[in-house]
Every structure is written in structure tokens, then in C-alpha cells.
Amino acid sequence: MNKIEKILGFGAIFLMILRLITDYPYSTLLITLSTFILSLIYFFFSFKLLNSNKKDSTEKTSSLKKNEMFLTGITLSIVLIGILFKFLRWPYGSFNLMFGLLFLIPILIITIFKFSKTKAEFYKNLLVRLLIIGVFGTLMLFTKDETLLEMHYRDFPEYVEAEKNLMQDPMNKELERIANEERKKMLGSE
């Protein structure tokens, strides 16, 4: 794995875990930036990042391998954006995550098959990336929004309860008003 990839990836995971433990300034911004930058790197620079042939990489790499790297980069990017949206409880987070993980499954199967057949360093490195992001994405997919809400705002049970009620009936204006009042109380007490 590339050094910048490790810093951004494990940094984002650390920042997410830290946010669940305690609220710190600019937590949403830091998590969003680290995850989004890593997603952009996978999306636009997947060929350079995933390619193990550093010298004359464009000449020695087959077109099939180039397509694999391109599709893998796009898929990893989608999964990372899904993780970000799901963690921050933004709209369509679960959908994005499920969509990305569905594309990740065949890539993972093909990578495992090719690695077992060739034992190439390229497929080993790719497998590590796919497993780390895939496992974290799957963990986030099966984590309920209510659980994330309870973990992050455990010191404010009234706000958590108001948000849970609003999640059950998002079109109810009265529940939305109550949730907004509880949010104001919570922010005022900090």
C-alpha cells in the first residue's frame, strides 16, 4: 500500500472511531476530507496507485489488467463514499454502500482466483486493499443508523430519542420540530 493511502485510510478510520468516543472540533470536516480525498485518489489515479510495475508501467501492463485496475478504483471509490455517507448518516448512505459492495464482490472473487493461480505481488496488494475496505464497508452496512446515533450522542438521550422518532416518521413536522428543539438544547449545553 502507498504511504498516502495508509495515512488517509487509517486516519479516516481513527477519526471515525474517535468521533464515536468523543466529539472533537471539525470532526465531520476531517472525516469527510480524508475519506473524500482517498476516494478521489482511487477514482482518478487507480492505474498508478494499483499498478505494481513502477518502471514503464504503461507498456508492460495488458489492457485487461488496465481495465481491472480502472474498475477496481471506481468501485473502491464508491464504497468509500458509501462508508462516509453511512457513518455521517447522510441520505442514501446505505444504498451507496450496498451498490459499491455489490460491485466489490466479483472483483474480490476474481482477485482471489488470480492470486491463488499466479501468487503475483499485484494481486496480493490488491487483495489487501479490497479486504480492508470491503470488511469495513460491510461492517458499516450492517450497522444501524440508530446505533451510530446512540454511540455518538450517548450523553444526550432526549436528542437520540427525538431523532429515532423522526427516523420512524420522517414526514412528521411535529417530530421534526421536537428533534430540532432537542438539537438546540444539546448544542446549548455543550
Q: Which long-range contacts (CB under 8 A, 24 or more apart) does 142-149 make?
A: 143/86, 145/86, 145/89, 145/94, 148/20, 148/86, 148/87, 148/89, 149/89
- Cell of residue 154, nine digits: 450517548
Mean pLDDT of the chain: 88
DSSP helix/strand/coil, 88: coil
- List pLDDT tens digits, range 29-58: 999 999 999 999 999 888 777 775 555 444
Task: Give the span between the Cα atoms of 31 and 87, in whole angstroms.
Answer: 10
Helix (H), strand (E) counts: the chain: 9, 0
71-108 pLDDT, tens digit per residue, is 999 999 999 999 999 999 898 999 999 999 999 999 99
